[in-house]
Chains A and B, each alone.
Chain A
Amino acid sequence: MSTSLDPERERPPQAGPNRAAADRLRLLLARGTTPVLVRSPPGAGKTGLVAEAAAGSASAGERVCAVTATNNQAGELATRTAGTDPDVQVVLLLGHTAPIPDTAAAAVADGLVMVTRTISHVPPGPVVVASSSAKWMCHPRTDQPPYDLQILEEAYMQPWHATFPLANLARRHLAVGDPGQTAPFAATGQRRWRGQPLSPLTPAAEALERLHPHAPVILLDTSLRLPADTCDVLQPLYPDLPFRGLAQTGQRVLISARRPGPAGSRFLALISGRSIARLDLPGSGGPLDPDLCRYAGRLATELTDAGLTAVDTGTAGPPRPATIAVVCARTRQVAAVRSAVTGRAASAVVVDTANRLQGLEYDVVLAVDPLAGHNRLGPFVLEAGRLSVMLSRHHNACGLLTRPEVALALARHVPTSDRVLGHDPDAEHQGRAAHAAVRGLLHP
């Protein structure tokens, strides 16, 4: 087991967006720097970068453990790592009853990724082992760290209390994350720790930055997924991370095989020539706005029935049937949307909450405004991370379905949640400002 990477063995760097950041990361890892933090906007190729780092370390003779929040993420990372360098041994570590995630099913079937459910069955020698933080918690204590490099995926989504007990699995640490994601949350109260420098629900990446203020931070500045105009709209949600979109505005389009219904036609006309728009529905929907949710369901059904094809005019990639998702803030809104998705769309359209759609991407995303159906806005709906997730899942088109009354509620809102001087940022105030800024940039 070597202790550092040999840069001579590295593959020659490729040209492309975020290449400079990837090169810098490789250099830092080769020097044995720890910890290292990578901060990224949505869709900037974090997983690819991590897969490259993991494969590079393993091919240099190191043992790498990757800590993810979910099995799906672990599966995707394992697949991407195996795809980056087929000579590297990649292991997906799962719980005893957990099914093999869809993200890794093909790679497992092809023999590129080995699945094990027992930690002691992980092979010795250079290897990349991907698993969820819950499974890694079952790793027995050892005198010496059993791995050389630990990669923490989605480090802004994972709470610090779930990651610090795992850190002794490796000698060096790399944390990668998107600072605009929804913050970790708990069902039970966390008032007890408010005002302390670190609450157990502080995102792991933030904790790392506070405890190691001189640790190198690598910034990715190009989103591969989001077109340029979407990046402009989302920029207020990332005040410390300027970024741009690789695809130009209007480069990615939707072509319908059949004429959609009135809602679908209105949406396609609105989104023409851009990738993100605000769709204002007149009237008021009452608590949680079930009418707006049902409208989103009907719109998704019409778009599915229209047979949309996603086309990227800037690349030579073939057109493909568009994937459609509807994202809401609350589970009850999800139920209302699902009740209105009918026919073929019932199985084709993904409807879920923002929390569950984090890390996933679709060609068309319909976002039900989290502020719709709330006379009094609270910290939950105002959270900037939730809005960021909702508006950053798409390749081609995103529509924010909202009501005109939301602007009034936002203008009248006065933050009322507890403020603790010292350490906590005022999430409610920041969320209000972020919502107002994004609405201002979105054209109805």
Chain B
Amino acid sequence: MPDLVTAARVLAHERQTVVDVTTTLRLKVAPHALILSLAGMAGEHDGVLHAFTAGPADGTRETHAVPDPRDRDTQAALWSELARIVDRTWQRALDDRTFPQVLVSGTAALDHLTQVAERLRNNTRVPDDARLLGQRLSYWVDRADVPGQQSVVVATTALREHLVTGMSPGEEEHLGAFLEWCAPGPGMPADASLLERVELAERHATGPARRPEDDRGVLVPALDRYSLAQLLGDPVEILAAAEAVGAALRPALRHQTRLLRDAHAVLTGLGLPELPDVARPDDPRNALDRLRDAETNAFSTWCAYLDRPVHPISGLDGNVAAAYRLARHESANAALSAAVVLGDPLAREAAVLAGTALRGRVLRVTQRAPADRPGAWSRTVLQVTLTGPGVPRAGQTWHLAAPGAAPWRVDATTPGQDGTVKITVSRPGRADTTGCAPGATIDLVRDVPDWDAARRAAGRLRERDAARSPWLPARTDRSST
């Protein structure tokens, strides 16, 4: 809904505060979500971890740093510490029969996590706990690609899904700047304007990379001191220098963690109703519950496969694995998009604007009873004035955007003289015209969420024995599951 977001962005700039771009909650952040702040090392491979702060949002967080992550032993020690904390999160999810949730600051932090995961997950030269850490991080970064997933909360993305600022989308990637639009951060001058506060916030790094001038001024001298101490072999000096490196890294981590806690507070305090599942009003679970169910299922399946010889983690997707993954992503995206258009009035307005949903005022409804035999279809003729340019076409299936409305198949569309359109629709069984009495405004949408589509698609792919396919390389992909 780019038009509405642009309008909201202008409004946010005028009001100098964030503006909602949704009327429903799309993401549920757990009170005990794992908050993870990472620090890499400038100039080194992105999979290097220099320091981190991790812990549940509602509990105690630990900060660990190593003086020189280029040293394998010290780097392994840091991985072990992170593996221990991630394991705690994992065990809690298993005990609660739910899924582990992690909160990172932005896409740069997610990319860094991906690099660490890829470095460790299949590496036989690292300790077992580090390899397991890599596999678990891989689970998270794999889930991050799935539309509607709830396991990995990228703070800037999650905030932008619900709120918009008066900045450009690129500037919104800076978590500190985004949060300044929500509320003034601690330590900000009381008399500073919003844009001044944003400028001050942008002086602090919020991802794994720090500002080069900070590195040059503080970290590099500390690292030089540590290297010299190592060369001289003075244990006291080594310890002091290591402490100095840690001290140089901690402020950035503290700042990142504080921002993550603030983002967690904003996301849990949005006060929006959860995205409903309009297509199934008899079921007490809403769309957000279904997304969480999908997350729990994905997690339990992954854990069940972890001990099997055919591992669910693929270094590089094989042909069949890629087909599975794409089918899963596409199905999840289709279900989420349909649920959002049906359940979020603002998204439906955007769909009407874009011409993908139709809005009309009902003038007359004529019902024809179905024939008296099982499976007969009833026919309804709706005479409506459509407000948009599109018209339903014969053969298409449309849904009334109202709770529990069954799909209609359009049999014919006849344009009238006075701008009205006569739409003949049919459905199996008795006619149901709930919500479309004369005078009522109706919205018609093409799709309803099919939450099981991904499972069915995977089932069909499994059912096919593709080994003889000329569309596959001669060597069959064995890594797919």
Interface residues of A (CB under 8 A from B): 34-35, 97, 99, 101-102, 137-138, 140-141, 145, 160-161, 163-168, 173, 186-190, 192-193, 196, 198-201, 204, 207-208, 211-212, 331-332, 334-339, 346-347
Contact A211 B326 (CB under 8 A): no
Q: Please determine whether A99 and B466 come into contact, CB atoms closer than 8 angstroms.
A: no
State whether A188 touches B389 (Cβ < 8 A): no
Taking the complex as formed, is B147 at the interface, i.e. its CB lies under 8 A from any CB of chain A? Answer: yes
Whether A167 pairs with B470 at a CB distance below 8 angstroms is yes
Q: Do the beta carbons of B472 and A141 come within 8 Å of each other?
A: no
A-B contact pairs, 26 of them (CB 8 A): A97-B397, A161-B319, A161-B327, A164-B319, A164-B471, A165-B461, A165-B464, A165-B466, A166-B469, A167-B469, A168-B464, A186-B326, A187-B334, A187-B337, A188-B332, A188-B333, A192-B322, A196-B316, A196-B317, A211-B471, A211-B473, A211-B474, A334-B355, A335-B389, A335-B390, A338-B390
Is B323 part of the contact surface with A, judged by Cβ < 8 Å? Answer: yes
How many angstroms from the CA of A196 to the CA of B314 in the assembled complex? 14
Q: How far is the CA of A228 from the CA of B390 in the complex (A)?
A: 35
Question: Per a CB cutoff under 8 Å, which of A97, A161, A331 touches B356?
Answer: A331
Chain B residues with CB below 8 A from A338, complex form: 355, 389-390
A16 to B319 alpha-carbon distance, docked (Å): 42
The answer to whether A187 touches B330, judged by C-beta atoms less than 8 angstroms apart, is: yes
B272 within 8 Å of A (CB atoms):
no
Question: Would you call A347 and B415 a contact (CB within 8 A)?
Answer: yes
Q: Which of B330, B356, B461, B466 contacts A188 (CB 8 A)?
A: B330
Instruction: Return chain B residues, CB-CB under 8 Å to A336.
Output: 389
- Additional A-B contacts beyond A198-B473, A211-B474, A337-B389 (4; CB < 8 A): A141-B463, A189-B329, A208-B470, A208-B471
Q: Contacts A188-B326, A193-B322, A346-B415 hold; do A164 and B389 have CB atoms under 8 A apart?
A: no
Chain A contacts of B334 at CB under 8 A? Answer: 187
B317, B463, B464: which has the most chain A beta carbons within 10 Å? B464
Residue picked from B323, B469, B471, most chain A C-beta under 10 Å? B471
Q: Is B435 an interface residue (CB 8 A)?
A: no
- When distances are taken between beta carbons in the complex, the residues of chain B under 8 Å from A97 are 397, 409
Q: What's the minimum C-beta distance from A119 to chain B, rounded to whole angstroms?
A: 12
**Would you call B469 and A165 a contact (CB within 8 A)?**
yes
Nearest Cβ in chain B — how far from A184, in angstroms? 10
User: Which interface residue of B330, B354, B469, B472 has the most chain A CB atoms within 10 A?
Assistant: B469
- Nearest B residue (CB) for A150: B470
Question: What separation, in Å, do the CA atoms of A212 and B469 have in the docked complex?
Answer: 12
B465 touches A (CB below 8 Å): yes
A145 cross-chain contacts in B, Cβ below 8 A:
468
Cα separation A128 to B316 with both chains bound (whole Å): 39
User: Which residues of the partner chain A approach B388 to less than 8 Å between Cβ atoms?
Assistant: 335, 339
Count of B interface residues, CB-CB < 8 Å: 41
Would B355 and A188 count as touching, CB distance under 8 A? no
Q: Does B395 make an interface contact (CB < 8 A)?
A: yes
For the complex of A and B, 3 pairs with smallest distance between CB atoms = A335-B355, A167-B469, A338-B389
With beta carbons under 8 angstroms apart, the residue of B355, B409, B468 that contacts A99 is: B409
B355 touches A331 (CB 8 A): yes
Known: A164-B472, A335-B354, A346-B415. A200 touches B467 (CB 8 A): no
Chain B residues whose C-beta falls within 8 Å of the C-beta of A102 in the assembled complex:
395
| Residue among B326, B329, B465, B470 with the highest chain A CB neighbour number at 10 A | B470
Q: How far is the CA of A137 from the CA of B327 in the complex (A)?
A: 13
Residues on A with C-beta less than 8 A from B389 are 335-339
A163 to B466, CA, bound (A): 10
Question: What A residues does B316 contact at CB under 8 A?
Answer: 196
Interface residues in B285-335 (C-beta closer than 8 Å to A): 316-317, 319, 322-323, 325-327, 329-330, 332-334
Whole-angstrom distance between the Cβ of B178 and the nearest chain A Cβ? 23
Most-contacted residue by chain B among A160, A187, A200, A332 (CB, 10 A): A200
Give the docked Cα–Cα distance between A332 and B334 (Å): 19
B9: shortest Cβ distance to chain A, in Å? 14
Chain A CB within 8 A of B460 CB: yes
B58 at the interface (CB under 8 A from A): no
Contacts A168-B466, A192-B145 given; does A163 touch B471 at CB 8 Å: yes
**Inside 8 A of B327's CB, which chain A residues have their CB?**
161
Report the minimum CB–CB distance from B165 to chain A (whole Å).
21
- The 8 Å CB contact of A164, one of B332, B466, B474, is B466
A168, B319: Cβ atoms under 8 Å?
no
Write the chain B residue with the least CB distance to A167. B469
Centre residue among A138, A140, A335 by max chain B CB count within 10 A: A335
Closest to B472 in A: A164
* Complex alpha-carbon distance, A346 and B390, angstroms: 10
Cα distance, A417 to B355, chains bound together (Å): 29
Complex: A211 Cα to B472 Cα, angstroms: 7
